[in-house]
Structure 1
Amino acid sequence: MGLLRAVGFFHGSMFLFSVMVGSGIFLSPKGVLKYSSLNIPVSLGIWGIAALLKMMNAVCLAELATTFPVSAAPYYFLKRSLGSSFAFLNLWINIFGYSLGISAQSLLIAGCLLQPFYLGCQAPELPKKCLALAVLWSLGFLNARGVITVSWFNTISSLMKMVVLCFICITGVVLLVIGKRENISRFENALDAELPDASQIAEAILQASFAYSGSSLLLVLAGEVKNPAKTIPKSFIFGMSTVAVLYILTNASYLAVLSPQEIISSDSVAGTWMNKVFPSMQWVITLLISVSLINNTACGILSASRIFYTASQEGQLPFIFSMLNNHHCPVAAISKIIIFSSIAVIPSSLVNLIKYLMLSSFVLTELYMIALLKLRYQEPHLHRPYKVWSPLIFGSMSTSLFLIVLPMIKTPTMELIYQAIFFLSGFLCYWLHTYLNQRYGFFDKITCYLQLLFNVSPTEKSDSIFMQ
């Protein structure tokens, strides 16, 4: 018994659309414009640069997923190349990163759904949190039905999101072609605006990268992809290039209607845009934004569960998380991320949360590139169905290092120190896990009861599947 290889090129591309097109395009324009010093050409350029950097990272990581086409391929690859401690660090970062991200998205979904009923004021916190929990657990039950059910749900909702973005893009193009003075005036003197410094550009790229985050989902699902050697690289190139074009056109449409100051002061740029262009249809964009976020959250739950599944197989999480139900789904791992996300409390603003998630992402990217180079040196004759051009690996390493180090040098804050302590504490927890983990008889009894509760059974380990 094992995970099903049921994701082809079409569903793989739809997964990329669904996980990337979400809260990022509705939240990140605010942060990108802010750190671009309200410079319109620079902000649009940042969106293109972030897309190229993410695509460069993706095609590099595609090599590890095609070399080891197992579930949670990045985690497995780190363990194979750099050892168990760095694999545990990957797990440590992802446990908190996914919990915070999924929790924030659930609250955002609840806020979007409730806001039309509270015009002129903020929705109350208690109904928002109750609705967020209801959405979260509903998506957990959906994921428990297996990857095929989730892929069809994502395909339908992704097509809806693409329709929304295309509508915004076409409307913006029409407004610019018509040439109304208020629509094109802010583009005329855009080159005279103030230029941001290097640290601000790095911060802006971090904000834009959030909109492209989630592309690693296809790497996490490598054990469920048909013909991964061809499907994964093709899906990355097609999916990410399509999303990049849509994002640049969408931001141009925002700027054709809204001033930079209006974008900065808006909590939902798309909602403010719709309220100005089609005031009577604002509820439509609110509903479709909620659908986008629901889709994005479902993919986050799917991705997190596969990481916990593989970590359980490798002995770094309890054995119950690697057992599958009759839908070939690790339902105990899904329950874990749902519970963690339900109790997660987000003390910081969404902009600060984006910075934390993106910094974690670039730290992991740096580790993946080091592991890729090390394995090339140690095992040059290992079969690699897809091999990326070496300069792209060094380019990805240098840009990730730049985006990690520059903000620390230019604007050191206590928040960055806390993040560094959090990363290093992962090694301490690994030491405690390795040297203090004792095995007691009642653990087996608890596993047995949980196995009966979830109706799950053990699977083959990734190593044995890979060797076949």
Structure 2
Amino acid sequence: LTLEKGKTMHLLRAIGFFHVNMLLLGTIIGSGIFVSPKGVLKYSSLNIPVSLSIWAGCGLMAIMIALSLTELATTFPVSAASYYFLKRSLGPSAAFLSLWIKVFSHCLGLGTQTLLIASYLIQPFYPGCPPPELPIKCLALATLWSFGFLNARRMKAVAWLQSISTVIKMSVLCLISLTGIVLLVIGKKENVSRFENALDAELPSASQVVEAIIQGCFAYRGSLILANIAGDIKNPTKVIPKSVISCLSIIVVFYVLVNVSYLVVLTPKEITTSDSVAITWVNRAYPSMKWVISLGIPFSSLSSTACIILSASRIFYSASQEGQMPLIFSMLNDHHSPIVAVTQVVVLSTISIISSNLTSLIKYIGLINIFNEVLCMIALLKLRYQKPALPRPYKVCLPFIFGTLALSSFLILTPLIQSPNIENIYQVIFLFSGLLVYWLQAYLYQHSDNFKTITCYLQLLFNVSPSDKQDKDILAE
């Protein structure tokens, strides 16, 4: 790819307020609301009030975290704003640890998302029995690579696809929510009976509550996408805060209503034994619409895959510009897309699809994301103290920062204290192996000239050119 003299390569700020809202709504309303109800109810000991409270509490926690990261994204409106900010606040080691967490979180999330979509699409062809694992994985891989190709082409195409998909998702959630409200108002005995003595149900232990919260937080995990794609958003200092507050408030209300509707139509045991809660709900509530909803749910979730790839590739892009990843990841093609970063995300996600235990994947994703949020809150407080005069277009309330720190610490420490197991050791090893990888790659990068040769070959293969550094974008704004 050759450039005319005087021209530069950089990410285009091509996403306006409407598409930002559609991206945020569509990314959050993904596989989580169709998978997490099973885990939340299971770890709530089938206690309905506790389960619904956890859904509302997870929503409030997501709002606090998103607003805290909004301060970072508006202060430093660049790709992967939280990573960029951590490097300047806590140093390169903490930033690389955050990068390590985010890369695996996004790739595991992509594996979960595509496996769920594939299982929903194939399930109608195997009524009354679970579908084979091989066709599910093959369809998941085909979905993943298709949207990787779309991300390598045009950003606008991803935004429009997400807008159409979001309308479908909101329609499905409206149908489920309104059905539950109508059935409650009608007051049929079989629909209302399970709510009558709900307060007498067994209370879960503290460690079970933590597990339920982690499952619930998975359904809100897309709320951080705006901090990762801030470099693609028009006028990010005004658009991001408005979108976060409005979209997340709508989603919390919908999620609670959808879970009420699940419980109106299905018993708690039916929910916890179902691999596809929404499909089971449709079979009971609208048997004649089984095929429509069965296909509508996965098709509406397809675009979330494109957005997760978009978000993850921007993390690679930012880390490459900061010198903590190979330079090739920050090079752009003629569509202004970091195609090598997109390819790397797709390859890592392909590996994660090998493991198809969705509940376990959600658990690991939730825990490592919580640790990353703690790092961001500590960095935010440090920068507030060290640079109080730094221009901040949006400034989050301090109680939100301290509240996020307290809740995150509770979620991390409670399982370690109450019910420690071998999985906790694996999680700690995974987290701090990121530091070992950081020191190893820093040493190799300084003492090997082979990286330059490999970069040249890859640059020719993918037809990409170096991009402007993000600091220039901030100074320009």
TM-score by length of 1: 0.97
Q: CA deviation at 1:179?
A: 1.1
Q: Secondary structure at the match of 1:316?
A: coil
Q: CA deviation at 1:342?
A: 1.4
Partners of 2:115 and 2:62 lie apart in 1 by 27
Partners of 2:74 and 2:18 lie apart in 1 by 18
Q: Secondary structure at the match of 2:465?
A: coil
Q: Secondary structure at the match of 1:214?
A: helix
Pick the aligned partner of 1:417 from 416, 419, 425: 425
**Further displaced range: 66-75 or 94-103:** 94-103
AA aligned to 2:225 is: L
What are the residue-to-residue correspondences of 1:112-127 with 2, within 5 Å?
A: 112-127=120-135
AA aligned to 2:330 is: S
**Kept after mapping to 2: 8 A contact 1:99/1:344:** yes
Is 1:237 aligned to 2:245, yes or no?
yes
Q: CA deviation at 1:440?
A: 4.0
What are the residue-to-residue correspondences of 1:314-333 with 2, within 5 Å?
A: 314-333=322-341
Partners of 1:414 and 1:404 lie apart in 2 by 15
Q: CA deviation at 1:268?
A: 0.9
**Kept after mapping to 1: 8 A contact 2:15/2:234:** yes
Q: Secondary structure at the match of 1:381?
A: coil
Give CA-to-partner distance per residue, 1:160-189, whole Å, 9 cap, x none.
000000001111111111111101111111
Partner of 1:31: 39
Q: CA deviation at 1:448?
A: 2.2
**Kept after mapping to 2: 8 A contact 1:100/1:346:** no
Give CA-to-partner distance per residue, 1:81-120, whole Å, 9 cap, x none.
0011111111111222222221222222222212222223
**Kept after mapping to 2: 8 A contact 1:21/1:292:** no
Partners of 1:354 and 1:340 lie apart in 2 by 17
State the identity %: 61
**Kept after mapping to 2: 8 A contact 1:65/1:222:** yes
Partner of 2:474: 466
Pick the aligned partner of 2:95 from 55, 68, 87: 87
Give CA-to-partner distance per residue, 1:139-167, whole Å, 9 cap, x none.
01111123211111100001100000000
AA aligned to 2:131 is: A
Partner of 1:403: 411
Q: Secondary structure at the match of 1:388?
A: coil
Q: CA deviation at 1:348?
A: 6.7
Q: Secondary structure at the match of 2:420?
A: coil
Partners of 1:159 and 1:228 lie apart in 2 by 23
Pick the aligned partner of 2:290 from 254, 277, 282: 282
Partner of 1:312: 320
Partner of 1:202: 210
**Kept after mapping to 2: 8 A contact 1:23/1:292:** no
TM-score by length of 2: 0.95
**Kept after mapping to 1: 8 A contact 2:105/2:369:** no
AA aligned to 1:286 is: S
Partners of 1:387 and 1:95 lie apart in 2 by 28
Q: CA deviation at 1:439?
A: 4.9
Partner of 1:165: 173
Partners of 1:232 and 1:87 lie apart in 2 by 23
What are the residue-to-residue correspondences of 1:158-197 with 2, within 5 Å?
A: 158-197=166-205
Q: Give the superposed CA RMSD.
A: 1.4
AA aligned to 2:112 is: A
Is 1:214 aligned to 2:239, yes or no?
no
**Further displaced range: 262-271 or 336-345:** 336-345
Q: CA deviation at 1:438?
A: 4.1
**Kept after mapping to 2: 8 A contact 1:99/1:340:** yes
Is 1:449 aligned to 2:457, yes or no?
yes
Q: Secondary structure at the match of 2:223?
A: coil
Partners of 1:423 and 1:441 lie apart in 2 by 29
Partners of 2:132 and 2:64 lie apart in 1 by 43
Q: Secondary structure at the match of 1:266?
A: coil
Q: CA deviation at 1:452?
A: 2.2
Work out the number of aligned pairs and report it. Answer: 468
Partners of 1:44 and 1:351 lie apart in 2 by 19
Partner of 2:4: none
Partners of 1:315 and 1:44 lie apart in 2 by 45
Question: Cα gap change, 1:21/1:95 in structure 2, threshold over 3 Å: closer, same or farther?
Answer: same
Q: Secondary structure at the match of 1:216?
A: helix
Structure 2: tracts of 5 or more residues without a match: 1-8
Partners of 2:297 and 2:15 lie apart in 1 by 26
Partner of 2:150: 142
**Further displaced range: 118-127 or 240-249:** 118-127
Pick the aligned partner of 1:431 from 436, 439, 447: 439
Partner of 1:364: 372
Partner of 1:49: 57
Q: Secondary structure at the match of 2:279?
A: helix
AA aligned to 1:403 is: L
Partners of 1:382 and 1:163 lie apart in 2 by 43
Q: Secondary structure at the match of 2:15?
A: coil
Partner of 1:266: 274
**Kept after mapping to 1: 8 A contact 2:165/2:301:** no
